[in-house]
Amino acid sequence: MAWSRYQLGLAALMLLTGSINTLAAKWADNFSAAGCGGTEEHSFQHPFLQAVGMFLGEFSCLAVFYLLLCRDRRRPEPSMAPSQPFSPLLFLPPALCDMTGTSIMYVALNMTSASSFQMLRGSVIIFTGLLSVAFLGRKLELSQWLGILVTIVGLVVVGLADLHSSHDQKHKLSEVITGDLLIIMAQVIVSIQMVLEEKFVYKHDVHPLRAVGTEGFFGFIILALLLVPMYYIPAGSFSGNPRRVLEDALDAFCQIGRQPLIALALLGNISSIAFFNFAGISVTKEISATTRMVLDSLRTVVIWAVSLALGWELFHGLQILGFAILLMGAALYNGLHRPVLARLARSGADGSEAEREGLLHAENAAINSER
C-alpha cells in the first residue's frame, strides 16, 4: 500500500529531526570560543548543560500533548482514550536513568565521531533483551538471540574502525576508546530505563507524548539543579573547561555570548528532540513500529554522510561493514526478516502453482494433439 503525503511527511520529519539531533550536538562540540574572565579560547565541552537542553526538548512534548488533548476534546467524538489514574512519580526512576544515560552519552560524544556515536547506540538491543529475560520473564525467540549475537559482532567491527581512524582525527586513541566504552555503558542504563517503563508505566496506558514529556520534566528540573554542585566538583583532566570542574555552566553561557552559532546548535538540538519524539510516535501510529525502526537506522546513514561531507571524519570501509552488521542484528531482533521470508514463501508457492498449471496445460495440449 502506497503512503499518503501525510505519512511521507511524518517519515521525512522523523529522519530529518533524528539526524539533526546528533549533528547539532556534535556541531556545538566542534566550536571554540573564549570563556568568562578573559580565559583563552577553548572547545565548547559542556555535556551536562547540553543534556539539560535535551530534557527541555522532551519537556516540551508535554505541551504538545495537552494541545492535542484540548483539540481532541472539542471534537464531537474524541479519539484520545483517557489514561488510567497514575502517580507522576512513576516516571521518576526512568527519568533518572534517562538523565544518567544521556549525560554519559553527551560526554562520550566529545570523545568520538558522530557516526560511531550513533552506531554504538545500537548496542541497546543486547542489554534490553537480556534484562527483559531476567526481570520481565520474557522468552526471546531464536531470531532475537541471533540478532543479539550479530549486534555484538557489529559493535566489534565499529570499535575496530574507531581504533583505525583515531590516528586521523583530533581525538587521541585513549579518548576514542573511553568514548566508545561510555556509549556502551550508557546503553546499559537506557535498557534499564526501558525495562522500568515496560514494567511500571505502560500498564497505565499513558499517552507516549505525555510519558516523554513527564520524564523530560523530571530530568530537566533535577539536572538543572545539579549544575550548581557540578560547578564546584573538581574533575581534573576529565573536564574540558578551564576551571577543570565537572560542569561550568557560566563558562558555557560566556562562550555562547562570544560565539552565537553555539546557541543555534543548541536550539537545533532542543527543537529536534521535541519534533523527533512527536514524529516517531506518529510514525508508529500511522504506519508501523517496523517503519520507525527502519527510519531510526537510516538516520545513522544520514549522520555518517553529513559528517563526511563536512570533514568531521574520514571515510573508513570498516564503518560501512559495521553498520551493515548492526542493521542486520537490529532487523533480526525486531522481526523484520519475517515479512521477507513470508513474501519469498508466497512467491515460491505462486511459482510452483504456475509451474503445475503450465504442466497441466502442456499435458492437455499433448492429449488434444494425440486426438
155-189 residue pLDDT tens: 999 888 887 765 455 667 788 888 999 999 999 99
Query: What is the rounded distance in angstroms from the CA atom of residue 73 to the CA atom of residue 81?
Result: 10
Check the CA dihedral 28-33-38-40 and report its sign: positive
CA–CA separation, 330 vs 152, rounded Å? 11
Per-residue confidence (pLDDT) for residue 169, from 0 to 100: 58
Judge contact between 62 and 209, C-beta under 8 A.
yes
Q: Residue 238 has what pLDDT? A: 80
234: β partners: 245
On the question of pLDDT at 354 being above 60, the answer is no
Tell me how far apart the alpha carbons of residues 277 and 68 are, in angstroms, rounded to a whole number. Answer: 14
Residue 240 in this model has a pLDDT that exceeds 60: yes
Alpha helices by DSSP H, the chain: 5-30, 47-73, 92-109, 114-120, 124-136, 142-165, 173-196, 208-230, 249-258, 260-286, 289-309, 317-333, 337-370
Using the predicted structure, report yes or no on whether residue 365 has a pLDDT greater than 70: no
pLDDT in tens, 35-93: 888 788 999 999 999 999 999 999 999 998 899 889 888 888 877 777 677 788 888 99
| Spatial CA neighbour of 88 closest among 129, 119, 59 | 59
The pLDDT confidence band at residue 363, using thresholds 50, 70 and 90, is: very low
| Continuous segment of H or E residues that includes residue 32 | strand 32-34
* Annotated domain spans of the chain: 17-334, 343-370
Span 288-328, pLDDT tens digits? 766 777 788 788 889 989 998 988 888 888 888 998 999 89
> Between vectors from CA 108 to CA 328 and to CA 275, what angle results, nearest 5°?
70
Report how far Cα 19 is from the mean position of its chain's Cα atoms: 9
Q: Is the pLDDT of residue 135 over 60?
A: yes
- Digit-coded pLDDT (tens) for 123-134: 888 998 899 888
For 245, phi then psi, to 5°, come to -105, 170
Euclidean distance between CA atoms 284 and 292, whole angstroms: 6
Q: How far, in Å, CA of 22 to CA of 48, rounded? A: 15
pLDDT band at 1 (very low <50, low <70, confident <90, very high): low
Taking the mean position of all CA atoms in its chain, how far away is CA 88?
24
